[in-house]
């Protein structure tokens, strides 16, 4: 018998080296090819081949942006991880276990002295024995390398996913093990109830799964194609931003692995000076080293995009854990008067649009731009519909310098023209010393310095006119409580507010993607509510900025554990506040 489901949440838990991340990615792709929507959350330690690795997958028949809190299915590889993750498995949920990880010694070490799983449905997989019987000669020492494919095959049978999609993607050996898992389930549990996730027909178009780093990469490539200019990506390896280089290099983009973070940003500035769009990616520690380069680029008034995939800090901190750690650094990290536009992604698919807009602002306003992503967005996948090129905004390059005589003349918006080297009559001095108005020559004049500071500041402030007017995301325009958010907290806050509104609470939410400058409309919305709640995965950085900017006292909800908020976190705080 097959039962229809609207959604299912699965947690895969194993040791590093069990192929858990690979298993999660393959199942996600299978679900999307079958017509479902997915949202994933990865969790793993910084150590190589040691510690825990986990992936949570929310599979649904409608678009989702939150992986859920408790799970319906726990796929677990050993007794210790069963005990660690059992508390969030729903009562009556399903446990799928590889029995090789549950011998007497492991059960004793995990503290299991009796059977405590009577309220769950348990499926035991003897992967080693099953592979041997199928004449796939793998000894026990190597079996762990392939058990993820066996489990994937079993899940495809259990949830009625077709293995045709995977058959086209996998090599012959993996495919043989995949089919072994599929037919093991079909033969061993023939009379067991199976499931299928009901799905609606999606809107026409092409769909794929995308994570935050892929979204950022594709967004920048699309922007450069739209602007008809080349992109240059320079980087220094750092978790969790390194994957951006891997994605970009697939598309023939010029890339450069620098010897350090300072070289990475200065080489990108050089590329922008020569007429390309310079881009560099990093995380918190690297961002600290790039600050002087950002000031130089701001002084030169050249386009540059800097991607900060935030992680838990300070210093090395927790490099594989997520945190909204660098908002204050993005605002105030540079010396002098150096305001730089800041954008923050809210979901993996939104990373595409944020990076596209960041490139558009950098090119059209001749300024460096900072993109704030984080470790959760970087490694999480969700279903994304390919946009069409005609639906993306046009990007105008300020090359119209030939109607002007001086290299630092500006258009009506106060934006200087982009003058690549080699144009006679437009030579100017390169460097971080203050520029003379119009000529770009070095100037130490007091009046000129103040004029140039205000001119550059005014250029960035004018950006507000072209940003979308800010509106409420969910709820009414006035009420008792506004939940104000930024970055990757969007998904769980959206789900929480929906539940609160159904229960009759006077709650609304507003999410900010354009962090600096703030778009018009935010002030009016904030003053229409009695209380403002700001959940952040840090110690209250946006709360401090909002307090300074709007002279209010927001209520901070801070979580600094290297993990994201849950819906319960938000609900409990709202119950306390109201």
Q: Any bridge partners for residue 233, and if so which?
A: 255, 279
User: Which of 406, 401, 420, 408 lies closest to 272, judged by CA?
Assistant: 420
Among 13-17, 295-299, 568-572, the least confident range: 13-17
Please tell me the predicted confidence (pLDDT) of residue 3.
Answer: 86
Residues 562-570: what's their mean pLDDT? 95
Three-state DSSP state, 39: strand
Please tell me the predicted confidence (pLDDT) of residue 333.
Answer: 94
**Peptide bond before residue 517 is cis, with ω within 30 degrees of 0:** yes
Question: 2-197, which class in CATH?
Answer: alpha beta
CB 269 within 8 A of CB 300: yes
Q: Which tokens is 517 given?
A: 């400058």
CB 377 within 8 A of CB 488: yes
Three-state DSSP state, 518: coil
- Give the start-end residues of each E strand in 453-518: 479-486, 507-512, 514-516
pLDDT at 516 over 90: yes
Please tell me the predicted confidence (pLDDT) of residue 180.
Answer: 86
pLDDT digits (tens, 9 = 90+) for 203-233: 778 889 999 999 999 999 999 999 999 999 9
pLDDT digits (tens, 9 = 90+) for 98-148: 887 676 666 666 566 566 778 889 888 887 777 656 556 555 555 556 788
Same fold, 208-391 and 479-577: yes
Q: How far apart are CA 387 and CA 356, in angstroms?
A: 12
Confidence class for position 276, pLDDT limits 50, 70, 90: very high
pLDDT digits (tens, 9 = 90+) for 457-509: 999 999 998 899 999 999 999 999 999 999 999 999 999 999 999 999 999 99
In 139-260, which ranges are continuous DSSP H helix? 140-143, 147-158, 164-169, 172-188, 212-227, 242-249
pLDDT at 5 over 60: yes
Report the chain's mean pLDDT, rounded to a whole number: 90
CB 508 within 8 A of CB 481: yes
- 208-391 CATH: 3.40.50.970
Q: Which residues are within 8 A (CB) of 173 and not within 5 positions of it... i.e. 6 or more apart?
A: none
Which of 3.40.50.920, 3.30.930.10, 3.30.365.10, 1.10.357.10 would CATH assign to domain 479-577? 3.40.50.920
pLDDT digits (tens, 9 = 90+) for 152-171: 999 999 999 888 888 777 77
User: Which of 456, 463, 460, 421 lies closest to 435, judged by CA?
Assistant: 456
CB 526 within 8 A of CB 552: yes
Q: How far apart are CA 569 and CA 572, in angstroms?
A: 5
Q: How far apart are CA 92 and CA 234, in angstroms?
A: 51
Please tell me the predicted confidence (pLDDT) of residue 18.
Answer: 83
DSSP string, 76-134: ESSHHHHHHHGGGEEEEEEEEEEGGG-SHHHHHHHT--S---TTSEEEEE-HHHHHHHT
pLDDT at 257 over 90: yes
Confidence class for position 444, pLDDT limits 50, 70, 90: very high
pLDDT digits (tens, 9 = 90+) for 40-88: 999 988 776 567 889 999 999 888 889 989 999 999 988 888 888 989 9
In the chain, domain spans:
2-197, 208-391, 398-466, 479-577
pLDDT at 331 over 70: yes
- Give the start-end residues of each E strand in 450-493: 479-486
């Amino acid at each position: 018998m097959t039962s229809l489901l609207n959604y299912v949440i699965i947690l895969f838990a194993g040791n590093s080296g069990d192929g858990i991340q690979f298993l999660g990615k393959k199942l996600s792709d299978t679900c999307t090819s079958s017509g479902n929507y997915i949202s994933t959350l990865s969790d793993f330690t910084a150590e190589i081949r040691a510690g825990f690795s986990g992936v949570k997958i929310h599979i649904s028949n409608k678009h989702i942006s939150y992986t859920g809190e408790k799970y319906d299915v726990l796929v677990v590889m050993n007794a210790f991880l069963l005990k660690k993750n059992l508390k969030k498995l729903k009562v009556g949920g399903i446990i799928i276990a590889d029995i090789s990880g549950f011998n007497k010694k492991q059960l004793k070490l995990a503290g299991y002295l009796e059977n405590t799983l009577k309220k769950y449905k348990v499926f035991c997989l003897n992967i080693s024995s099953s592979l041997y019987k199928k004449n796939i000669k793998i000894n026990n020492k190597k079996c762990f390398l392939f058990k993820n494919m066996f489990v994937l095959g079993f899940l495809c049978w259990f949830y009625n996913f077709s293995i045709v999609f995977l058959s086209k993607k996998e090599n012959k050996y993996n495919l043989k093990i995949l089919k072994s898992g599929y037919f093991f389930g079909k033969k061993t549990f023939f009379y067991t109830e199976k499931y299928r996730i009901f799905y609606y027909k999606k809107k026409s178009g092409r769909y794929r799964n995308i994570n935050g780093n892929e979204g950022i990469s594709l967004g920048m490539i699309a922007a450069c194609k739209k602007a008809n200019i080349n992109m240059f990506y320079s980087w220094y390896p750092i978790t969790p931003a390194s994957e951006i280089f891997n994605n970009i290099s697939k598309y023939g983009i010029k890339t450069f692995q620098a010897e350090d973070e300072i070289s990475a940003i200065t080489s990108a500035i050089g590329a922008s000076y020569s007429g390309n769009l310079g881009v560099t990616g990093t995380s918190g520690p690297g961002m600290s080293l790039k600050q002087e380069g950002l000031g130089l680029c701001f002084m030169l008034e050249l386009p540059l995009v800097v991607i900060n995939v935030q992680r838990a800090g300070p210093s090395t901190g927790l490099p594989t854990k997520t945190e909204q750690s660098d908002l204050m650094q993005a605002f105030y990290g540079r010396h002098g008067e150096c305001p730089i536009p800041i954008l923050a992604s809210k979901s993996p698919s939104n990373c595409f649009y944020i990076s596209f807009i960041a490139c558009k602002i950098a090119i059209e306003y001749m300024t460096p731009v900072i993109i704030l992503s984080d470790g959760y967005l970087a490694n999480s996948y969700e279903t994304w519909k390919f946009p069409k090129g005609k639906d993306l905004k046009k990007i105008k390059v300020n090359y119209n310098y030939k109607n002007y005589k001086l290299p630092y003349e500006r258009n009506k918006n106060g934006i200087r023209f982009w003058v690549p080297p080699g144009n006679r009559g437009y030579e100017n001095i390169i460097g971080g010393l203050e520029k003379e108005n119009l000529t770009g020559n070095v100037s130490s004049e007091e009046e000129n310095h103040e004029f140039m500071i205000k001119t550059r500041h005014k250029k960035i402030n004018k950006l507000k006119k072209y940003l979308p007017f800010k509106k409420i995301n969910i709820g009414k325009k006035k009420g008792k409580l506004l939940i104000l958010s930024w970055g990757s907290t969007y998904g769980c806050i959206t789900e929480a507010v929906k539940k609160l509104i159904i229960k009759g609470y006077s709650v609304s939410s507003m999410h900010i993607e354009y962090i600096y400058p703030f778009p018009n409309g935010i002030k009016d919305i904030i003053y229409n509510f009695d209380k403002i709640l700001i959940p952040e995965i840090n110690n209250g950085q946006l709360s401090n900025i909002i307090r300074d900017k709007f002279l209010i006292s927001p209520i901070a909800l801070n979580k600094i554990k290297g993990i994201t908020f849950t819906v319960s976190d938000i609900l409990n705080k709202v119950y306390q506040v109201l």
